[in-house]
Amino acid sequence: MRTLFSKPSTPIGLFAISLLALALLVLAATGCNTAKKGDRPAGLQDPIYTIADPAGDWGFPSPFAHYSRGPGYVRMSFIFDTLIWKDNQGYIPALAKSWEFLKDENAYLFLLQDQATWHDGHPFTAKDVVFSMDYMKAHSYEWVNLGVVKKAEAVDDFTVKLYLNRPYAPFLEHIAGTAPILPEHIWKDIQEPRQFLQKEALIGTGPFKLKDYSKEQGTYLYEAYSQYYQGTPKISRLKFVKVRNEMAAAALRQKQVNVAQVPPEIAGELKKEGLRKLTGRHDWVAKLMINHQKAPLDSVEFRQALAYAIDRRALVATCQRGHGLEGSPGLVPPDNSWFNARAAAAYPYDCVKAAEILAGLGYEKKDGCFKKDGQTLELELLISGGGTGVSGFPGEREGEMVKEMLETAGIKINLRSLEAKILDNLVNEWKFDLALSGHGGMGGDPETLNKVISGKAFISARFNRSDELNLLLEQQMKETDQDRRREFVNRIQEVYAREMPCLPLYYPTWDYLSDDRVSLYFTPQGIGSGVPQPLNKMSFLN
């Protein structure tokens, strides 16, 4: 990897508890100690627009190297454009000026921008779109399901047609509006895209170019691409800096950052001080991951017992201090238009019911613990001790509470605290019993249900043992009639709740505070295919 992206341009120490240390460190992060002649001091008057992020590093921001969670996609999206995009009103043109669906051919026809260029000056053409579709099919870009694209065809230099092999209701959102378009002249000889970490991997057509990236410090510095086909961005430089959640309010008050996510209990205070408050829908879900591939968790009755044993409402009241919504066993959050209230009513907290189910499975309770064949019913629960920095991500406090609830029901629980990415890896490799995790995207198109129920990613339950559920998931993806599709989605939630391959615990409330320099907003159905952050790149354009 080139030096430009391997070392931070300025050293950034660990954030200390004191406000003075915070101010000094964030000033360093925004580059004031290496300011070039003519630069103004860091702060609200500085040309750099600074975004606080509690986690920091989300990976090298190329399409194949960014971390697979939503913040990684957002960082990549500033550099790479898609065919279409969304703003706060809905779908808008991006690399495609216009599009239409050709029903007789089951194909989408896109008329492309004829003035777009790659960051290295090469012109963008239809050949890049065709190459991107073929390349991402061959190398499995996990954010899009390109298996439905039968063929990509360049009609001429600025017209492309994408043929589908079956009806696919969420095409515009999950492919045209999510798949980043790659420059053929750079990627055509790249055999291992995830190992391609040179600066050329970051040449896109998007509104910003990456100036500097520090994995160690979790900082990203972008600069505006002056030849951007939609006009030069109004923000000349954009920077992400790592600021812990508990220090975010101080950073805002000291005018060291322009926007930050803050705990909901202090958001109101900051709003009174003149900052703008943005509260998102509850599109992020905390979940109890269940290894349904191993006994006794492979028993649907056992998983149902777990669901009865956990008081989801108490988790919201205690761990989220009331700032959130109780998890629906049907997955879809209550403030989503696809929500099924009947599925949400399943499994009211009832530890007696949980004990009855376990007794029916042959377990006998002795000394407060269930046993079977002389063996104590004992499970390991993985938690992220340090969290991910994501507000509401379940950690030690939630782990202790879930442990207490399950042990009250008679199931002995051993807690194991791990670094978040190690936990993700163990879940991905099925090396766990239970794990506390979570993800966003729940406000996107209902295809999200396919991704988090039967998809292959570690955030998914990866459950395909129910023929009924599998068929419903397939049907809802093909159905283009909205009312008929809603019937399928409602039924999916009910069958999922019955099978209980993974238990939604709660949906945390997210509050962001910002100054008035940029009009941020939460994108309807999320950025791309559902990222619930108010950092849509369109906010930074003129």
Span(s) in the chain for CATH 3.90.76.10: 84-187
Q: State residue 342's pLDDT score.
A: 97
Residue 172 phi, psi dihedral angles, 5° rounding: -60, -40
The correct CATH number of 3-67+206-280+512-540 out of 3.40.50.720, 3.40.50.1170, 3.40.190.10, 3.30.70.380 is: 3.40.190.10
Here the tokens at position 88 are 């706060």
Element (H, E) at 241: strand 237-242
Please give the model's pTM, rounded to 2 decimal places.
Answer: 0.83
285-508: what CATH class? alpha beta
Q: State residue 20's pLDDT score.
A: 40
Span(s) in the chain for CATH 3.10.105.10: 285-508
Span(s) in the chain for CATH 3.40.190.10: 3-67+206-280+512-540
Nearest to 15 by CA among 253, 247, 199: 247
CB neighbours of 428 closer than 8 A, spacing ≥ 6? 457, 458
Could you give the CA distance from residue 158 to residue 164 in angstroms, rounded to a whole number? Answer: 20
**Within a 10 A sphere around the Cβ of 44, how many other Cβ atoms?**
14
Q: State residue 148's pLDDT score.
A: 93
Nearest to 459 by CA among 320, 285, 257, 332: 285
Q: State residue 421's pLDDT score.
A: 87
Could you give the CA distance from residue 75 to residue 51 in angstroms, rounded to a whole number? Answer: 11
User: Do residues 44 and 26 lie in contact, with contact meaning Cβ atoms separated by under 8 Å?
Assistant: no
Q: Per residue of the chain (542 residues), give pLDDT as tens.
A: 333 444 333 333 333 333 344 444 444 444 433 333 333 333 333 489 999 998 889 999 999 999 988 999 999 999 999 999 999 999 999 999 999 999 999 999 999 999 999 999 999 999 999 999 999 999 988 889 899 999 999 999 999 999 999 999 999 999 999 999 999 999 999 999 999 999 999 999 999 999 999 999 999 999 999 999 999 999 999 999 999 888 999 999 999 999 999 988 899 999 999 999 999 999 999 999 999 999 999 999 999 999 999 999 999 999 999 999 999 999 999 999 999 999 999 999 999 999 999 999 999 999 899 999 999 999 999 999 866 667 889 999 999 999 999 999 999 999 999 998 899 999 999 999 999 999 988 988 898 999 999 998 899 999 999 999 999 999 999 898 999 999 999 999 999 999 999 999 999 999 999 998 999 999 998 999 889 999 999 999 97
Q: State residue 4's pLDDT score.
A: 42
Answer yes or no: CATH 3.90.76.10 is held by domain 84-187: yes
Ranges of H-type helices in 106-209: 126-139, 171, 184-187
Q: State residue 106's pLDDT score.
A: 95
Could you give the CA distance from residue 542 to residue 538 in angstroms, rounded to a whole number? Answer: 8
User: Do residues 453 and 477 lie in contact, with contact meaning Cβ atoms separated by under 8 Å?
Assistant: no
CB neighbours of 177 closer than 8 A, spacing ≥ 6? 82, 83, 84, 85, 86, 91, 528, 529
Could you give the CA distance from residue 164 to residue 515 in angstroms, rounded to a whole number? Answer: 44
Q: State residue 122's pLDDT score.
A: 98
